[in-house]
Amino acid sequence: MSSYNIALNFEDGVTRFIECKAGEKVLDAAFRARINLPMDCSDGVCGTCKCRAESGSYDLGEDYIEDALSEDEKDSGLVLTCQMVPQSDCVIAIPASSTVCKTGQSTFAATVTKVEQHNDAAVVLELAVDAAGPVFLPGQYVNIDVPGSGQNRSYSFSSAPGDSTISFLIKKIPGGVMSTWLEAAQPGTKLDLTGPLGSFYLRDVQRPLLFLAGGTGLAPFLSMLEVLARTNSQQKVHLIYGVTRDLDLVLVEAIEAYAAKLPNFTYATVIADAQSSHPRKGWVTQHIPADALNDGDVDVYLCGPPPMVDAVRKYFDDEGVKPNSFYYEKFTPNVVQKAA
């Protein structure tokens, strides 16, 4: 391979992808891409360029001093970008905002290809991107400008990175800005998107995964499952998909398809409505099998509306459940401006 794809995640949630040539240091590759990562000496002496490598393999070089990066820091995944030479695609968390690093969000254009209604509860929106398929980390989101409204809304990709058709799973909110636009949206309409964004993304898969989805919070997990399927993952993955009403249960056939593609993937659907005849009722937390927690040696990913995310986090705290790692995304609604 002659180059690697490096995701730089800034602390304001912006992600920029840069190409790092074989043998090239991350700091130099970022500079080529006109991104000024924190640095001072560029010689492995000051430690100013210290960042966290979240995934990937790399050579840290030998030309730095212990004061700049200690053994413990190195063992905990910290790196010096002025020394680090990637040996695979990598994800690096930058402890500075994108603005400080003189960069910002990427924007791109896309064209509506499909608007598919599901049970009057949700919509699958498919877009063809005008250039190469956007790169993002599975689980991340974009902001989509809602035509004619002067507003945008955030949506998690439900498709896999790099595809030239991207998709989203969007809950229908009566009277909502995006929801109302979607009612009459037609194929061929151009949209402007900003992103990728967010720190909710699939990390290196090293242990069993537990995915907890609330409603359209299923979207990022579809992206993650597609990536796991494409990389022939053999890891144990359990998804619990909870919704409020029977009609909110959408895309179960898409999940079922992953049960066929991924040898160690299992899932369960749960409906909160007490009137439902569904076999599993209540909250996702009532349906977590003990073996899915694997005595704590599990990475938990949680996504959904804020009350659901807060309830699950409280449940884990109350029950003393301490997974190896715990990542969550809240689908926080925008503050809607009221007319004066």
Q: Give the residues lining the site for ligand FAD (CB under 6 A).
A: 141, 153-156, 168-171, 173, 175-179, 198, 216, 219, 305, 329, 331-334, 336
Query: Quick one: what does residue 316 bind among ligand FAD, ligand FES, none, with the CB cut-off 5 to 8 Å set by partner type?
Result: none
Nearest to 242 by CA among 264, 202, 273, 220: 273
According to the binding rule CB under 6 A, does residue 49 interact with ligand FES?
yes
Taking every pair of C-alpha atoms in the chain, what is the biggest distance, in angstroms? 66
Supply 239's token pair: 């998804």
Distance (Å, rounded) from C-alpha 117 to C-alpha 172? 9
Cis, peptide link before residue 196, omega less than 30° from 0: yes
Query: Could you tell me the smallest distance in angstroms from the CB atom of residue 95 to ligand FAD?
Result: 21
Alpha-carbon distance 161 to 167, whole Å? 11
User: Of residues 45, 100, 229, 254, which one binds ligand FES by CB under 6 A?
Assistant: 45
82 binds ligand FES (CB under 6 A): yes
- Binding letters toward ligand FES, positions 221-250, x by CB under 6 A: ------------------------------
Residue choice 12, 21, 28, 46 for contact with ligand FES (CB under 6 A) = 46
**Minimum distance from residue 177 beta carbon to ligand FAD (Å):** 4
Please choose which of ligand FAD, ligand FES, none residue 169 contacts, taking the beta carbon within 5 to 8 angstroms, the exact cut-off set by kind.
Answer: ligand FAD
Q: Single out the segment in contact with ligand FES by CB under 6 A; choices: 38-46, 176-184, 224-232, 294-302.
A: 38-46
105 binds, among ligand FAD, ligand FES, none (CB under 5 to 8 A by kind): none
Partner from ligand FES, ligand FAD, none contacting 140, C-beta within 5 to 8 A by type: none
Which pair of structure tokens corresponds to residue 255? Answer: 């999940």
Strand segments (E) across the chain? 3-10, 15-21, 50-55, 58-59, 78-80, 85-86, 90-94, 107-118, 122-129, 141-146, 151-156, 165-171, 190-197, 209-214, 237-243, 265-271, 299-304, 325-330
- Give the C-alpha separation, 76 to 69, whole Å: 11
Token representation of residue 167: 């998709």
Of the candidate residues 19, 40, 67, 291, the single one contacting ligand FES (CB under 6 A):
40
Query: Between 174 and 279, whose beta carbon lies closer to ligand FAD?
Result: 174
Does residue 39 touch ligand FES according to CB under 6 A?
yes
- Please, are residues 139 and 329 in contact by the beta-carbon 8 Å criterion? yes
CB neighbour burial string for 206-226, b if at least 16 within 10 angstroms, e if fewer: eebbbbbbbbbbbbbbbbbbb
CA neighbor of 205 nearest in space, from 232, 173, 179: 232
Of the pair 65, 173, the CB lying nearest ligand FES is at 65
Among ligand FAD, ligand FES, none, partner that 39 touches (CB below 5 to 8 angstroms by kind): ligand FES
What are the residues whose beta carbons fall under 8 Å from the beta carbon of 337, sequence distance 6 or more?
A: none
Name which of ligand FES, ligand FAD, none residue 134 binds, using a CB cut-off of 5 to 8 Å depending on partner kind: none
**End-to-end CA gap in the chain:** 59
Among 42, 111, 113, 194, indicate the residue that binds ligand FES (CB under 6 A): 42
Applying CB under 6 A, among 28, 31, 33, 41 the residue interacting with ligand FES is 41
Residue ranges binding ligand FES (CB under 6 A): 39-42, 44-49, 68, 80, 82
